[in-house]
C-alpha cells in the first residue's frame, strides 16, 4: 500500500473537490509537483484560473513543489500585473493604441520580480494571495488570507498583510536536517513506510531512518 496514484486527478474517492493539479494544468509556464493538490468545491481542476496576469509574452513561471496543499481561492499574481511606476502616470496608454502606442514601455521599464517558486510540503491557507516573484521555502505554512509580498523562510509560519513570520516551526539545526533529508524526494515506498515519522515532530528519528 503506497498511497494514491499521483497521476489520478481526483485521488479521494467520492470527493472531486480535491485535485492533483499536475494532471490538469496545461500552461507550460506553470509547473506542479507530484501529490500537490488544490481544494475547491467549484471546478478544482481549473486551478489555472487562480494564476492571474500570467502572460506568455512575459514568460515568468509559477513553480510549485511536491506535496503542497493549496486551499480554496488562493491566488498568484504574476508579473503581467505590473504597470510602469517610474513615470508620472501609471495609466497604460500604450495598450489602447490609436496613437498612444508611442509610449510603449522599453524592456526593463516594467517592474519584473522573476518566477514565483513554492517549495515542497507547503500549506497555503484559504484565500492567500502570493505576489510576483515570491519564493516560499519548503515546509512553510501561509496563514489564511495572507498577502505574501516577500520571500518566506523554509519551515516558518507566516500571516497577515503584508505577511510576516509568526514563528519558525523548528529550531535552525532541525531545519538544516529537514532540508538535507528532503523526504518528499524519497521513493514513495520509503515515504509510505516512514509516514508515522514524517507526520511526527521528531526530526532526529526521521534522520535516523533516512540513513538506513
Ligand atoms: C496559521 C495557522 C495555521 C495557525 O498557526 P499557529 O502556529 O497555530 O498560530 P496561532 O493560532 O497560535 O496564532 C499565532 C499568531 O498568528 C496569528 N494568526 C493566525 N492566523 C492568522 C492569519 N490567518 N492571518 C494573520 N495572523 C494570523 C494569530 O493572531 C497569533 O498572533 P499573536 O501571536 O499576535 O496572538 C492558522 O491560523 C491558519 O491560517 N490556517 C489556515 C487554515 C486554512 O486556510 N485552511 C484551508 C483548508 S486546508
By most ligand atoms within 8 Å of CB, the mutation choice from 17, 70, 71, 125 for ligand 1 is 125
Q: Of ligand 1's atoms, which has the minimum distance to the CA of residue 145?
A: 23
Length of the chain: 212
Query: Which of 166, 167, 168 to mutate for ligand 1's pocket (most ligand atoms within 8 Å of CB)?
Result: 166
CB of 161 sitting under 6 A from ligand 1 = no
Using DSSP bridges, classify how beta strands 37-39 and 18-20 pair: parallel, antiparallel or unpaired: antiparallel
Sequence ranges of the domains in the chain: 18-169, 171-212
Alpha carbon distances (Å) from 150 to 23, 96, 123, 146: 29, 32, 17, 11
Q: Which three cell numbers stand for residue 58?
A: 512575459
HEC profile for the chain? CCCCCCCCCCCCCCCCCEEEHHHCCCCCCEEECCCCEEECCCCCCCHHHHEECCCCCCCCCEEECCCCEECCCCEEECHHHCCCCCCCCCCCHHHHCCCHHHHCCCCCCCCCCCCEEECCCCEECCCCEECCCCEECCCCEECCCCEECCCECCCEEEECCCCEEEEECCCHHHHHHHHHHCHHHCCHHHHHHCHHHHCCCCHHHHHHHHCC
Confidence at 162, pLDDT banded by 50, 70, 90: very high
Q: What is the arrangement of strands in the sheet containing 62-64, beginning at the earlier edge strand?
A: 30-32, 62-64, 116-118, 135-136
Furthest-apart CA pair in the chain: how many Å?
A: 69
Say if ligand 1 is within 6 A of residue 125 CB: yes
**Best mutation site among 36, 69, 144, 147 for ligand 1 pocket (most ligand atoms within 8 Å of CB):** 144
Which whole-number Å values give the CA distances from 67 to 117, 118, 172, 205, in the listed order? 14, 11, 22, 21
pLDDT digits (tens, 9 = 90+) for 33-83: 999 999 999 999 999 999 999 999 999 999 999 999 999 999 999 999 999
159 lines ligand 1 (CB under 6 A): yes
162 close to 171: Cβ distance less than 8 angstroms = no
The closest-lying atom of ligand 1 relative to the alpha carbon of residue 126 is 44
- The pLDDT-based confidence of 93 (bands split at 50, 70, 90) is very high
pLDDT-derived band at 211 (thresholds 50, 70, 90) equals confident
Whether 212 shows a pLDDT value over 80: the answer reads no
From CA 67, how far away is CA 35, in angstroms rounded?
5
Atom of ligand 1 lying closest to residue 123 CA: 48
CATH architecture of 18-169: 3 Solenoid (2.160)
Q: What distance in Å separates the CA atoms of residue 148 and residue 95, rounded to the nearest whole number? A: 28
Ligand 1 centre to CA of 40 (Å) is 20
- Catalytically annotated residue among 10, 83, 167, 194: 83
Q: How far is the CA of 101 from the centre of ligand 1 (A)?
A: 46
The 10s digit of each residue's pLDDT in 178-191 is 999 999 999 999 99
**10 a catalytic residue:** no
Amino acid at each position: 500500500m503506497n498511497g494514491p496514484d499521483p497521476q489520478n486527478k481526483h485521488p479521494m474517492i467520492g470527493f472531486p473537490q480535491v485535485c492533483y493539479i499536475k494532471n490538469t494544468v496545461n500552461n507550460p509556464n506553470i509547473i506542479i509537483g507530484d501529490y500537490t493538490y488544490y481544494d475547491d468545491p467549484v471546478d478544482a481542476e481549473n486551478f489555472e484560473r487562480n494564476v492571474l496576469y500570467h502572460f506568455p509574452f512575459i514568460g515568468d513561471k509559477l513553480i510549485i513543489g511536491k506535496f503542497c496543499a493549496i486551499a480554496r481561492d488562493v491566488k498568484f499574481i504574476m508579473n503581467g500585473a505590473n504597470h510602469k511606476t517610474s513615470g508620472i502616470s501609471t495609466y497604460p496608454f500604450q495598450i489602447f493604441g490609436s496613437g498612444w502606442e508611442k509610449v510603449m514601455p522599453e524592456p526593463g521599464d516594467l517592474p519584473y520580480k522573476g518566477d514565483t517558486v513554492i517549495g515542497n510540503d507547503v500549506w497555503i491557507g484559504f484565500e492567500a494571495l502570493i505576489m510576483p516573484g515570491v519564493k516560499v521555502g519548503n515546509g512553510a505554512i501561509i496563514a489564511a488570507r495572507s498577502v505574501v509580498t516577500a520571500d518566506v523562510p523554509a519551515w516558518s509560519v507566516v500571516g497577515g498583510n503584508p505577511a510576516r513570520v509568526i514563528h519558525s516551526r523548528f529550531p535552525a539545526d532541525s531545519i538544516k536536517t529537514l532540508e538535507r533529508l528532503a523526504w518528499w524526494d524519497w521513493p514513495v515506498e520509503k515515504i509510505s513506510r516512514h509516514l508515522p515519522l514524517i507526520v511526527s515532530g521528531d526530526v532526529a528519528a526521521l534522520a535516523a531512518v533516512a540513513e538506513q
